[in-house]
Structure 1
């Protein structure tokens, strides 16, 4: 029986580009608007505003000007904004990630998003904007939330490993701010306002037969679905939109499971680069305790959280970009780790080294 060719070389990350949302805003500005919005809620708003100061976030970038969120956005207008802004941000990131000479050679496009709906899916616009190969296999991925960025790269790695001539474009965009329901005066929604931001990223992954310099190689990944945890995170779809669901139990699940999962995938390697999804300060604390990490280990994730907030699936790709661009970057083994709805963990082992041979 004929077997599909599998290259002896691991798939490589050729490029990575990130795109901020168009409207930067400080954490203090958001806190001021949210405090006014939640006036009259059934909890102490003044006391609860401390969550903004303690979130480890100093600024974010949003899809719309801040005032627009508090003017009342119905489902139709939300999705119209989502399609326009998400499409532009993805094309911007992809234009910088895919050199013109490679655009006609893209074989697969994996598009990750859990914060909006687009049919046809968002990569159709990117294909037209950049002149990508019209016969590229399209793979939209929805519902993985914060774990989606790692999962998208892992899917691309598996595709590139099974087809050594593959050139896989990963697109990831989350506009979590557009899901704000101003009529939801719950403490859960209040906390969400202190955390979430918007962003996009694009990455190009090559099979073993594709030549070219690379940022690093992509090794094996792991997925772990935890039993009886579906209620911890996700969307609760209401008539007016999507209500965010995230449980205070989440840091505990991370704390109890991260060490075993990382040890399994590291397989004895000393990890130099911890590419962590910073879901919030409590998640970073859980990683610190479970993995015995130093402040230096946590710095890329913590600084990304401070500059952008929690951008769901996109955040871990911003962390990876920050690591690769750091002036003192040193090549070495890395591990991407994120937790998301399911409740699930996604991990991917990488070997990072700018200019890795092709």
Structure 2
């Protein structure tokens, strides 16, 4: 029995700024710091490969000293709105009603809320009362793909069912105003807020790319490379500068055995649907993939237009491929990385 992706829809928050318009806020934030350091930070923002980003808060709110509770309250309020809007769009694309969904997976790592956002959606959209719920918190940037892996396994075991994966992230709610470390600065330069929903189906007559295979790959002794530390002021980013090099070193083990078990090699892959973690990670994967005459232009474009929206970002890339009306038989490889450290992969056939 095959599982297919039938619809993907993104939803952006109401606030947005181009990077050039964020620089004045950065200048104010950096007042009192060494002038050379200030220039370095501005260059970092300008060279991050992100032209625009969206946010659940206006820029002056992001750069205002508020408590973790206040930021998290905004997160709780806004992510539910974005989740509902993206889900309604995806349902519209698939010509479905909320009651047509049997399994709901919500993923987010940039705030804390109990009950999770799926409970609010079930109530507001009057979804099935016996719908199966799975909220996922700690998978970080990899959660968009890992959520699809969970959905795929549920649907393979349950014919004639549908699942939705909803990824909503607000990294701006985790920004640390009093932290002038390079990790906090790099995070501020590359991350943005956003949401996306993807609907999957085990109905035989529904159309969309088929999931041929999926797998996770876990790096040993790399738990401290990426994640969040809960501090009094909120969620403080952990991001090791060795991440791109680590990905590069593991890339052959991540990709080749996975394709070989499907009787393929990398040359059989027509499209790489890759999570744009940041400019350096994108360049690393582009160097590895580009030697085979393939490109990750859609990944770079999503990073440029929206920044890294953690778990939701790879779904923005997927939506671009879904909208292309690709030739029948084309092969796509979804790939994302996240805390753990881990890589998630899905093999698709149009």
Quickly name the TM-score band, shorter chain normalised.
over 0.9
Taking the aligned partners of 1:238 and 1:271, their CA distance within structure 2 comes to 43
Aligned pair partner of 2:27 in 35, 53, 76? 35
In structure 2, the gaps of 5 or more residues are none
Instruction: State the TM-score, normalized to the length of structure 2.
Output: 0.93
Instruction: State the TM-score, normalized to the length of structure 1.
Output: 0.91
1:23: how far off?
A: 0.8
Is 1:65 the counterpart of 2:63? The answer is no
Taking the aligned partners of 2:326 and 2:13, their CA distance within structure 1 comes to 26
Task: State the secondary structure of the residue aligned to 2:2.
Answer: coil
Moved over 6 A (4+): none
RMSD: 1.7
Within 5 Å, give how 1:28-177 maps onto structure 2: 28-41=20-33, 44-99=37-92, 101-177=96-172
In structure 1, the gaps of 5 or more residues are 1-8, 353-358
1:39: how far off?
A: 2.4
Q: 1:193 to 1:296 in 2, by over 3 A?
A: same
Taking the aligned partners of 1:243 and 1:131, their CA distance within structure 2 comes to 36
Task: State the secondary structure of the residue aligned to 2:48.
Answer: coil
Taking the aligned partners of 2:91 and 2:126, their CA distance within structure 1 comes to 11
Counterpart in 1 of 2:4?
12
Taking the aligned partners of 2:292 and 2:286, their CA distance within structure 1 comes to 7
Taking the aligned partners of 2:218 and 2:112, their CA distance within structure 1 comes to 24
Task: State the secondary structure of the residue aligned to 1:230.
Answer: coil
1:293: how far off?
A: 5.0
Contact 1:94–1:126 (CA under 8 A) maintained in structure 2: no
Taking the aligned partners of 1:325 and 1:293, their CA distance within structure 2 comes to 26
Cα deviation code 1:86-139 (max 9, x no counterpart): 000000011111257442232111111111111111011111222211210110
Taking the aligned partners of 2:51 and 2:107, their CA distance within structure 1 comes to 26
Within 5 Å, give how 1:1-358 maps onto structure 2: 9-41=1-33, 44-99=37-92, 101-207=96-202, 210-267=203-260, 268-269=264-265, 270-292=268-290, 297-326=295-324, 329-331=326-328, 332-352=330-350
Counterpart in 2 of 1:356?
none
